[in-house]
Chains A and B, each alone.
Chain A
Amino acid sequence: AQSVSQHNHHVILSEAASLELGCNYSYGGTVNLFWYVQYPGQHLQLLLKYFSGDPLVKGIKGFEAEFIKSKFSFNLRKPSVQWSDTAEYFCAGHNAGKSTFGDGTTLTVKP
């Protein structure tokens, strides 16, 4: 069965701190991996995606993620967070026309 798990339910950081959100996946075959962000009161937006090639992918707003096949991980990183990064972050895998999401990580950035 396909599954995606996110380790941290709620992360609280101060502005300028570095961020790493964990994501592990379990899939039987090829999987494409995504990170989405949901700002308060807004809809899900794509941050970045990995299909193949360079395992380090860069997304919008300074976010990046690294695909580590041996660890079945796709962790999201940002060197220096801002107050405006406060949001919920979802990791997802997509295969055979279906997306499987993790339960999300709520990030609160204190000014």
Chain B
Amino acid sequence: ETGVTQSPTHLIKTRGQQVTLRCSSQSGHNTVSWYQQALGQGPQFIFQYYREEENGRGNFPPRFSGLQFPNYSSELNVNALELDDSALYLCASSEYRADTQYFGPGTRLTVL
């Protein structure tokens, strides 16, 4: 059984740029959620995808968007990067309506 994987591991961007982060869900899981974890804080829910559609969203602006593909992998896109977007971005997968999620190792994004 393959766990949740994320790429890249680390990323450095400058303010105003755009970034795409990728996540492969655990085998058998059809739901992917994305979280932002700023330094010293707990993960904050960004959004969730199920069957290639957004299925819930937290308090993040529209410049945070996502995609889910037929194989259940997912992308998180962030446009017009701001310094405060610097954080660890976590992906979690689960079966639909299951409350137990499995987290990937995260992508560390630094915005300069």
Contact = CB atoms under 8 A, between A and B. Distances in A.
B104 A102 contact: no
A42 B105 CA distance: 7
A60 interface: no
Given A32-B99, A43-B105, A97 B90 contact: no
Nearest to A9: B40
Main secondary structure on A side of the interface with B: strand
Interface residues of A, number: 23
Contacts, number: 55
A90 B43 contact: yes
A97 B41 contact: no
Interface of B: 31, 33, 35, 40-45, 48, 55-56, 58, 90, 92, 97, 99-106
Interface of A: 4, 32, 34, 36, 42-46, 49, 51, 90, 92, 94, 96-104
Given A99-B33, A103-B40, 10 more contacts: A34-B100, A90-B43, A94-B99, A97-B31, A98-B45, A98-B48, A99-B43, A100-B45, A101-B42, A101-B43
